Each structure stands twice: as C-alpha cells, then as structure tokens.
A and B are shown apart, each in its own frame.
Chain A
C-alpha cells in the first residue's frame, strides 16, 4: 500500500478556498438592496429560464451566484425545508434566519469534509413585517454567514461593487432609484447593462401573501427609464444626496 503525501491542513484549506473563489469569480455578480416598499434583487443574467433569483416562501427569496447546478440544488432544498416547516407548524414559523443557518452548516460541512467545495455564494432575503426589519443573509462558499440590513453584493467582483454601491445607497429610496443604482454598479464604469442582460425580482410589501414577484420585460424597461429620468441622470455614478 502506498502512503499519500503529507499536506499541511492549512494548505488543504487554502487550496480549497482558492478553488471555490475561482469558480465563483467566473460567474456574474448580483446586488440586493432594500427600498421603500421592500427588497429588490438584481442579477446579471442573460438567461430567461435559468434563474439566479427565486421564491422560497411567502416573504423569503433566494439568490445564488457561481455554479448553477450547485446553487439550484440549494434553492430546491430551501423550498423543501420551508414548505415542510410551514406545513408541520404554521406559515408564520418559517423564517430566513434558520434557513440561512442550515445553508451555512451545509456549506461549511461540504467545505471541510468533501473533496470539492461548492463554488457558490448565496443570499437569503426576508421581508420584514410588524416592526421586524428586512434581513439579508449572505452565506459564503465555506459557510461564513453575515447579515446585512441595507444591501448585499455577491460574486466575483463583490468587494469593488460594494465599495461603489455604498456611496450611492440611501435608506428608503424608491424602486426605480434603487434599480438604476444596482444596474449601474453591477455594470461598472466601462459597461452598460440593458433589461435583456438582467434578472430582477422583488419582495414587495402589500396585500399578497406571497411577496415574491419577478420584474421583467416592459415593466423592467419602464422602471429603469423612470429611475434614470428621476435624477440619477445628472450626477452620473456619483453619490445621490438624501
């Protein structure tokens, strides 16, 4: 029997992290932010049928970047977890925090115990109600979980985009304003993104039990138009005064 070469654990983890980061960096990024009526998630995604952003439950949405088959498996698991819990207990008992924790545990487990880490980063967004604030849980490939109140950026260029986005973000802005900012910062200074390059969905406060809604086609084009006309126009890319 041959003995395997000894590799220091630090090196193993470093190699795995590098591998996962490379995989994630190959895909396009995604921005989620709160606005006056809810949460909007904007992903760069030319496909109309392979979604990066999806519905999990009444007030919970899911978004993933990286390898499609891997985050889609996690999405389906989330739907299954939420529906099972809501059926066994009650719809009110389904919350994003416990789901995000499950994702974190699963990703952490795979990262340390499996040959190959998952090349994904995911976002679990929950629309707040009755005094509870909106929540954005960001779970990284190795199971690190962080929760954000205002906005979250996922993907290869996350840091640069988040840096730029921070200067534009305003609490309580409208959907067109938020959309235009998301699209501009996803694109960066050198590119332009049109409605056909984008996948947009919102969790919207309102009468409907299921708050998740896709914003697409003419509605998306109209909202972008509105946002550009409403004042993001003059200070191209610069901070917007509150």
Chain B
C-alpha cells in the first residue's frame, strides 16, 4: 500500500466507494463497482427461489418520545432450513443513526459495512457529519446499485432510522429494491414477517410513546411476526437468544441490553401474550 494521494482533477472527494474503486477494487463487490463481474447464471437460486444462501427476515422501526426504536429478529433461513439462530440485523450506521436489513444475508451485511465506513469516512474527510437526509440518500444509492442482484433473487431491503439533530426528532426511511426511499411518518417494518409486525405496531402505536412502551411494542410486533411467519425467529428462552433492540436518541445510538429485552418478553408473557391458541 502507498499513500493514496491524487492529483486535483482525479480526487475522489469524501466518497469511500469511489476511493475503493481506485485503490482497492478487490475489496468492493462487483455490484458496487468493484473488481470482477456478475456471477454466471443465478447461483443463489434453487428452482427459481433463493434457496442456497442465507436470508434474514423481519425488522421494525418506530418513533417514540425521545427518538426511534429499531428491532430485528435473529433468524436467517436457507429455504426451509434455519441457517443461523443468532444473526444480527440491526446495526449502528453512525453515532446518530441505525440501519436494519432484511434479505440476502451476505450482500446485506456487506452493504451495511460499506455504509458504516462511508458515513464515518465522509465525516472525517469533510470534518462534519452528513445530514440525516444525506445518509438516507447514500443508502438508497447503494441499494439501487444492488438491483441486478435483486433480479437474481438476492434482494437486500434495508430500513434506516436516525435522530435528526437539526429537526430534533427521530426519522424513519424505508426502501424498495430499486433504491427508492420513502420517509415514514411514525413506523415501518420490512422482511418476510414485516406485514404481521406492521399490523401489531399499527394497532399499538400512538404519539409520544415512552422508552419502555416503545421497546415493548417493538418486541411484541416481532413476536407476532414469528407467530405467523416461519422464517422469523421468536424469543428463544432455551438458548437465551432475543431480538436485537436499539435506540437512537439525541444522545446517540445505544443497544438495549439483552437482559432487558428478555425481561420485557417475560412481562408480556405474564400479561397474556401467546395464550391464544
């Protein structure tokens, strides 16, 4: 490696993906403009369905009084097999935002890693962080570049949420496979169990939820999604695996301790959740 110094006309600026393309193309996946080309045929597919590769499932986000809550179940599936029981799908994007992913696990995690590096890189090179809207746009561009993979059954659909320091409120953005992104007013859910999770949140959400209420609503939504969708993992008390729940507030990103999530579930069960047959 040599010091990456560029002549003024060829400077990649604060764009990390553009920098990688120039100095380390092998580290970028081809669908983000790196070395190599599209794989021959549709290797990720089995009978036209994404069978061979792990897929992540349900993630949710909702606004509450101090910011946003984001949560995701822990299961990854390969067709009808369970690929991972403790996969993480909710990540800090930077100090004041979080990103959650559903879809093909490999590309999804790679996209998150690139996104995290991109935000930090911009902040360091420019000396100021991107606006929340700017971050949401960046992620949209990455999803759009991934579109050819989506046509091969390897779609990645993220959920982005953060605390907007200028407007002093939590904000949530949803995406489609073309990179289109839409700001949601109060809550969002995506992934295979997204529809069931959304129904739960829709029924329970109201403006100004407290921290505890918001966490409870998020885990309840994931529980109901797991109840209806085989690809979504429910709370696993035997192994001690619970959903990842994260908060983004004016103080920044923080992950809710697993003990607290377990206690919330115990609480919900004691109050009758899951008694219906």
Contacts and interface: CB of A to CB of B under 8 A. Distances in A.
B124 A55 contact: yes
Contacts of A83: 16, 19, 117, 120-121, 124
A67 interface: no
B3 A103 contact: yes
A102 B114 CA distance: 25
Interface in A73-103: 73-74, 76-81, 83-88, 98, 102-103
B3 A84 contact: no
A83 B117 CA distance: 7
Interface residues of A, number: 25
Nearest to A55: B124
Interface in B59-82: none
B35 interface: no
Given A56-B124, A80-B19, A87 B4 contact: no
B124 A105 contact: no
Contacts of B124: 54-56, 79, 83
B127 interface: yes
Contacts of A98: 1
Given A51-B127, A54-B127, A88-B24, A80 B117 contact: no
B98 to A, nearest CB: 15
Interface string A22-44: 00000000000000000000000
A148 to B, nearest CB: 22
B165 to A, nearest CB: 16
Contacts of B269: none
A77 B1 CA distance: 12
Given A54-B124, A54-B127, A79-B121, A84 B5 contact: no
B27 interface: yes
A68 interface: no
A106 interface: yes
A106 B3 contact: yes
Contacts of B125: 76, 79-80
Nearest to B5: A77
B116 to A, nearest CB: 10
Interface string B23-59: 1101100000000000000000000000000000000
B230 to A, nearest CB: 35
B4 A84 contact: yes
Interface string B9-22: 00000001001100
A22 B16 CA distance: 36
Interface string A99-113: 000110110000000
A84 B2 CA distance: 11
Interface string A155-186: 00000000000000000000000000000000
A79 B15 CA distance: 12
Nearest to B95: A210
B206 interface: no
27 contacts: A54-B127, A55-B124, A56-B124, A74-B3, A76-B125, A77-B3, A79-B121, A79-B125, A80-B4, A80-B19, A80-B121, A80-B125, A83-B19, A84-B1, A84-B20, A86-B117, A87-B16, A87-B20, A87-B24, A87-B114, A87-B117, A88-B24, A88-B27, A102-B3, A105-B3, A106-B2, A106-B3
Interface of A: 49, 51, 54-56, 73-74, 76-81, 83-88, 98, 102-103, 105-106, 210
Q: Which 8 A-B pairs have the closest CB atoms?
A: A88-B27, A80-B4, A102-B3, A79-B124, A106-B3, A77-B5, A77-B3, A83-B121
